[in-house]
Homo-oligomer: A and B are copies of this chain.
């Protein structure tokens, strides 16, 4: 994909319009000239990864990411083994689906633990264990830094710098990073870190959502439609462009107000907002 090609670079993460079935999403996205979709494991398994791959190929849509693997921070051996097994299954599904990218949410602090740095080391250990398996399947793993408000319960990797510190222990085609505006917008180091990621060819994907308040209980489902919030979204696109990134711009919004609306209408709105606020 090339920057500036209208909507060809836009990808819609499935959760943004979860009210649409996979065939509905594929049909409507293709109709609009959107270039790709990002998918989630549960609906992909329900549809069948091979059937999903066929469906999207028929519509000329790329699968820009599979969400998600990760949750690597358990200390107990049994729980660690289970997490690694689940990630191997996710890598298999990504390969079958025909996407080269598995997004990783690293996991939070186990109950009673207070050492973020030690938990991040366990993420590195898991990446090392999974890297050969991922390489064999042609799937790249992408470490996603999540906003610091998730540091205890979802993801001990809170900044792009920390994600790069982890990813840099591996070849760039094995472990990349996710640049998501929602998680990173507050951090003044991000332009520099995007440049650092770009120099290494490590930007696996650009994801977009806007920041709106008040945040909802649990802070998971409060992402805003592009243009509704505080983030300079175009800056994220231009920073990643300048860093040599030529991949998709995947819109990933979790917002119950969008889910209550007609899915096709939300898709059209998202495409229009992309042209207005990102391109």
Task: Identify the A interface with B (CB < 8 A).
Answer: 109, 113-117, 147-149, 151-153, 158, 162, 185-188, 211, 213-219, 229-232
- Which 9 residue pairs spanning A and B have beta carbons closest together? A152-B230, A148-B186, A149-B149, A151-B186, A114-B232, A214-B218, A217-B217, A153-B213, A215-B219
Partner of A152, one of B152, B153, B211, B218: B211
Copies of this chain, complex-wide, total: 2
A211 cross-chain contacts in B, Cβ below 8 A: 152
Q: List 14 A-B contacts (CB under 8 A).
A: A113-B230, A115-B232, A117-B188, A147-B149, A148-B187, A149-B215, A151-B185, A152-B211, A152-B213, A152-B229, A153-B214, A213-B218, A216-B217, A217-B217
A117 cross-chain contacts in B, Cβ below 8 A: 188
Pairwise interchain contact B217-A214, C-beta atoms closer than 8 A: yes
Within the assembled complex, what's the spacing in Å between the Cα atoms of A230 and B148? 13
Pairwise interchain contact A116-B219, C-beta atoms closer than 8 A: no
A152 cross-chain contacts in B, Cβ below 8 A: 211, 213, 229-230
Within the assembled complex, what's the spacing in Å between the Cα atoms of A109 and B212? 11
Q: How near does chain B come to A193, taking the closest CB pair, in angstroms? A: 14
Pairwise interchain contact B114-A231, C-beta atoms closer than 8 A: yes
User: Do most interface residues of chain A lie in helix, strand or loop, or is the interface mixed?
Assistant: loop
